[in-house]
Amino acid sequence: MTVRIIGIDLAVDAAHKAIVLDQASNEFASRPMTFRTNPADMDRMLRIARKGAPADVPVVAVLEASALSWFTVGVYLSRQGVTVYRVSGQQVSDLRRVYSRHAKSDRIDARVAAQLYLTHPENMYSLHLPSGRHLALQQTCRELGRLTDEIGSRKTRLKAVDKYAWLGLPESLGSFSPAARWVRENWYNPWAVIEAGPDMIIRAWVGKTGCEPAEATWAQALFVRAQLMCALYGSAEQLDYQWLQDNMRREEERLARAEAEAKGLRQKFLRPVYCQLYPQRHLESIRGIGQDSAAIYVAFIGDIRRFPSLRQFRSWSGLIPASSQTGLTQTSGLHITQAGPNLIKRTAYINADVARQWDPQIAAIYHRQMMAYGKHHTQAVCACATHLLDRVYLVLKQDRPYELRDIEGAPISRHQARQLCQEKFHVPDEVRSRNNRRTHQHRVEQQAEHRYQRYERKRRSVTS
């Protein structure tokens, strides 16, 4: 049976563009049209799509994701019995290069979106429309991700200032301990620290917190570092430490607000809604996945049945490597595709870094990547993250808790799993240093230098 395909290029503020493609003739059955996000315009578009076709002709809509414009249009079209597919801008861009290499417009993108249904059906996924609660959880996860990024950037700023103002705070003090934050607010001037002395600083800290003086061992290290900074800068006029202290106080207040907001968001909304939507909580049985990470998977994956196979789920996640094969040549070691939500990839990476220390099967993957393939830590953890997402898929698909097993597949306890990871799949420090990015970059630079020296020797021998 023939299908009528509506290719839609969505806009944020302007009118959307659409065109109808007839599958049987592979010809466009309408002129390009514009419509707004309202029922009357979309009903008119559907009448044009069905014009000249049998009354029961299936209608498919392929729309390019633009902000959240897809949600309203997708909901209404789905309610009218239209099968909706959402494609990425990258897919449209790739096909546009074939369709119209030297031109880009909204009308061309609408034509390309319609053609995608015929040219690339194996990678077309029907639109998943989350419930209101699911969508709220998803948006909360994104908001929490933005807060996490803000917290990270503010901490990076504080450490950067510490680096040139104090050559970094002493290790015994830490970077973001309560004592470190108190020092930034009250004792950031090294000349003031020397004038007061460590005993006075200890008394002030004890008076504020009520701790024992013996616990403030960091005060002596701070005093020694202050002497070093005074020797380096020579004069209190070199840096305006009073302004820096005020600036640090403001930065720490912003950091504290962001941390409090993130904590409140987790406790008051994210975790309760997650438990409401997924009361089984089987995902938390996978080592490395906690309540907040499980909430992200539930929010973005939604109904696992929309992925009929593990291959489709892997393709959606974007944590699989790109492939390149021609003739008898197969290129390996390519970058990951990076399709799918960034929060899924980031969360899977963080979870996999923990899981490799507790799950023998994932630990074996990490060990093989580091020892046999010479990958650095980040590459090895990305490989583990792909297999961790396989476990997420199966736990959701089978609706049962995850069970730790050894590399032969026999069930084991958590203690046995941890012991096996430490004894059999430990990666020596010398291998880590050999494989890290800094060492790899050094080798590349050495090879380039050797090539240049060979070229110079050859050039001098020819000229002489």
pLDDT of residue 56: 86
Whether 143 is covered by a domain: the verdict is yes
Is residue 79 domain-shared with residue 19, that is, in the same domain? yes
In this structure, the answer to whether residues 119 and 15 fall within a common structural domain is yes
Where is the domain boundary, 97, 129, 161? 129
* CATH code assigned at 93: 3.30.420.140
Q: Which residue has the higher pLDDT, 53 or 257?
A: 257
The predicted pLDDT at position 338 comes to: 62
Decide which of 17 and 321 is more confident: 17
Assess whether 250 and 297 both reside in one domain. Answer: no
The answer to the question of residue 442 being in a domain is no
The boundaries of the domain holding residue 8 are: 4-129
pLDDT of residue 288: 94
User: Do 245 and 224 share a structural domain?
Assistant: yes
Same domain, 151 and 108: no
**Are residue 158 and residue 260 in the same domain, yes or no?**
yes
Within this chain, do residues 50 and 162 fall inside the same structural domain, yes or no? no
Residues 154, 110 share a domain: no
Residue 156 lies in a domain: yes
pTM score above 0.85: no
Q: Report yes or no on 436 lying in a domain.
A: no
Q: Between 330 and 309, whose confidence is greater?
A: 309
Give the pLDDT band of residue 77 (cuts 50, 70, 90).
very high
In a domain, 434, yes or no: no
Domain assignment present for residue 40? The answer is yes
pLDDT in tens, 375-430: 889 889 999 999 999 999 999 999 999 999 999 999 999 999 999 999 999 998 88
Portion of the chain with pLDDT greater than 90, in percent: 61
Are residues 320 and 392 both part of a single domain? yes
For residues 123 and 140, state if they share a domain.
no
3-state SS of the chain?
CCCEEEEEECCCCCCEEEEEEECCCCEECCCCEEECCCHHHHHHHHHHHHCCCCCCCCEEEEEECCCCHHHHHHHHHHHCCCEEEEECHHHHHHHHHHHCCCCCCHHHHHHHHHHHHHHCHHHCCECCCCCHHHHHHHHHHHHHHHHHHHHHHHHHHHHHHHHHHHCCCCCCCCCCCHHHHHHHHHCCCHHHHHHHCHHHHHHHHHHHHCCCHHHCCHHHHHHHHHHHHHHHHCCCCCCCHHHHHHHHHHHHHHHHHHHHHHHHHHHHHHHHHHHHHCCCCHHHHCCCCCHHHHHHHHHHHCCHHHCCCHHHHHHHHCCCECCEEECCEEECCCCECCCCCHHHHHHHHHHHHHHCCCCHHHHHHHHHHHHCCCCCHHHHHHHHHHHHHHHHHHHHHHCCCCCCECCCCCECCHHHHHHHHHHHCCCCHHHHHHHCHHHHHHHHHHHHHHHHHHHHHHHHHHHC
Highest-confidence segment of 8-17, 339-348, 349-358, 429-438: 349-358
Report yes or no on 461 lying in a domain.
no
Q: Which residue has the higher pLDDT, 363 or 119?
A: 363
Same domain (yes/no): 145, 106: no
- Asked whether residue 121 falls in the same domain as residue 168, the answer is no
Does any domain span residue 171?
yes
The residue among 96, 129, 162 that closes a domain is 129
Q: What is the mean pLDDT of the chain?
A: 89
As a whole number, mean pLDDT of residues 270-294 equals 95
Domain boundary among 244, 273, 302: 273
At 454 the pLDDT is 86
The domain tally of the chain equals 3
Residue 71 or residue 444, greater confidence:
71
Kindly tell me if the per-residue pLDDT of 73 is higher than 70: yes
Query: Among 47-61, 101-115, 258-272, whose mean pLDDT is lowest?
Result: 101-115
